[in-house]
Structure 1
Amino acid sequence: MTRRPRPHRRGPLWPSWLLALLLLPGLAAAMPYVPPSYTAEYQASKMGLSVLARITLSREGEYLRYRAQLRPTGVLSWVLSDEIIEQSIFRITPAGLQSLEYLYRHMSDDRKRLTESRFDWERGEVRGTRNGRSFSLEIPPHAVDRFTLQLSMIQALVEGKDRFSRTIVDKDRITTYHFQVGAAQRIDTPVGRVEAIPVIRHIEDRDTTVSTWFAPRLNYLPVRLEQMQGDERLVLNLRALEWHDTEE
């Protein structure tokens, strides 16, 4: 089994509260790895039309906020006013990343889609609303919301796994995704050529394959996301990256 490269710290130092936890006996090896705080921009282009996604990971005391904003750009913005916001608030525990709140909002001229949920780990349930309808679900152990999933995948790479599964709360239902890890390869992106590890998920009933490339030397940040559905291919590439310098 190929040993995965260790994360390279180009970003700021970990916050003091997390460093203190890591120094406690028995916790250093158990706490999952999460990249330093950052803001990244991704862009997808197809037939002259483009979409821009801005993703931010920030630390707020013992909690972390993971937020994405997606909107059309260029000519596409003349005819579409769509905006998608997806956000997760979670914390790091020895058992893994623990989702606390989740938000998905898709606004357009003709419709509004909204999902909000809160995780109650003491009661083992998640409650929320989806497009005005309430729901309540029992949370399986180690489950995360569907956006925190991307950060949860990083730990499998740090541990050198070739295959792994994750159980997620996908809006108002529980599902399990299965992933296969490919061999590291050098890929070209708008920010330069980087070595990245592909993580692949096949969705057989939709004839779809979703691949995410994580770059170990960029603290395992995703540098490319690709969806293949039949003969249709959509690629989202990292185009800008900023490490935050506001850690305490």
Structure 2
Amino acid sequence: MALGLTLILACLPVAAQSMPFVPPSYTAEYEAQKLGLSVVGHITLTREGQFLRYRARLRPTGVLSWVRSDEIIEQSIMRLTPQGLRSEEYLYSHTGGSRERLTESRFDWEAYQVTGVHNGKPFELDLPPEAVDRFALQLAMINKLRQGEKAFSQTIVDRHRVRTYHFTVGEPRSITTPMGTMEAIPVIREIKDRDTTVSTWFAPRMNYLPVRLEQEQNGDKVVLNIRSLEWHDPPL
């Protein structure tokens, strides 16, 4: 009888692991203002076959663009797997400033290694199974929120280092942005050795898109707000 039950159970299909949630493809525009100066950023998420491309471009506008020609591009190419988001390639490029910076890395999930170049110097790192690159972190945070986490940690490959960040989740509340008033949930990271707090606000009714980023350091605060959104796929 026990043998027969074992055979029956062995023949039953194994329940598939759920894939991580990712918002539909979109382009969002963000703006930060301080002392009358502004910086505009565009973030785009697109699906390319089995891959995701998550890309941000940040540049000064208005009067600031007359004296600064900086451009920051950050990009993550990922795959969705039952084990979670898997970073495949990462790029960070800062040009036009007094000191240009470039980081490029590739993720080898068979060898669990990350190899790349950071500001002209090659590096190689051991890759923890749950790690994501620093830009894919936002999508990993979305999944933690959807799972109802109130505090969590996430290991990331921060350019040429492996670090673990710790977060707490605040209560949802209404915030006002250039797109109007919306309910959002803050995810907060405190960096005590730099007296810095970073809060990322996610809007559940907008597929948990980040709609505000706040950084407060030594009492000085910079806020980046969403100001437009275009869905490329029908929203879920």
Instruction: Give your verdict on TM over 0.5.
Output: yes
Q: CA deviation at 1:86?
A: 0.2
Kindly indicate whether residue 105 of structure 2 is the aligned counterpart of residue 114 of structure 1: no
User: Paired residue for 1:3?
Assistant: none
Please give the alpha-carbon distance, in whole angstroms, between the structure 2 residues aligned to 1:26 and 1:241: 36
Please give the alpha-carbon distance, in whole angstroms, between the structure 1 residues aligned to 2:180 and 2:14: 40
Paired residue type of 2:15: G
SS at match of 1:238: strand
Kindly indicate whether residue 52 of structure 2 is the aligned counterpart of residue 64 of structure 1: yes
Aligned CA RMSD, in angstroms, stands at 1.4
Kindly indicate whether residue 69 of structure 2 is the aligned counterpart of residue 81 of structure 1: yes
Please give the alpha-carbon distance, in whole angstroms, between the structure 2 residues aligned to 1:215 and 1:246: 17
SS at match of 2:23: coil
Paired residue type of 1:151: L
Paired residue type of 1:194: M
Kindly indicate whether residue 33 of structure 2 is the aligned counterpart of residue 45 of structure 1: yes
Deviation digits for residues 184-215 of structure 1, max 9, x if unmatched? 00111100110000000000000000001100
- Give the number of the structure whose alpha-carbon radius of gyration is greater: 2
Residue correspondence of structure 1 range 67-146 to structure 2 within 5 A: 67-146=55-134
Gaps of 5+ in 2: 1-12
Deviation digits for residues 69-106 of structure 1, max 9, x if unmatched? 00000000000000000000001111110000000000
Please give the alpha-carbon distance, in whole angstroms, between the structure 1 residues aligned to 2:75 and 2:15: 31
Q: CA deviation at 1:109?
A: 4.7
Paired residue type of 2:125: L
TM-score by length of 1: 0.88
My pick for the range that moved more, 226-235 or 107-116, is 107-116
Q: CA deviation at 1:245?
A: 3.7
My pick for the range that moved more, 209-218 or 29-38, is 29-38
Identity of aligned pairs, percent? 65
2:24, 2:234 within 8 Å by CA — same for their partners in 1? no
Please give the alpha-carbon distance, in whole angstroms, between the structure 2 residues aligned to 1:208 and 1:95: 32
User: Paired residue for 1:147?
Assistant: 135
Relative to structure 1, is the Cα distance of residues 208 and 220 closer, same or farther in structure 2, using a 3 angstrom cutoff? same
Deviation digits for residues 7-45 of structure 1, max 9, x if unmatched? xxxxxxxxxxxxxxxxx9633x62111100000000000
TM-score by length of 2: 0.92
2:24, 2:233 within 8 Å by CA — same for their partners in 1? no
User: Paired residue for 1:165?
Assistant: 153
Gaps of 5+ in 1: 1-23
Relative to structure 1, is the Cα distance of residues 109 and 182 closer, same or farther in structure 2, using a 3 angstrom cutoff? closer
User: Paired residue for 2:15?
Assistant: 26
Q: CA deviation at 1:246?
A: 8.9
Count of equivalent residues? 223
User: Paired residue for 1:212?
Assistant: 200
Please give the alpha-carbon distance, in whole angstroms, between the structure 1 residues aligned to 2:234 and 2:205: 21
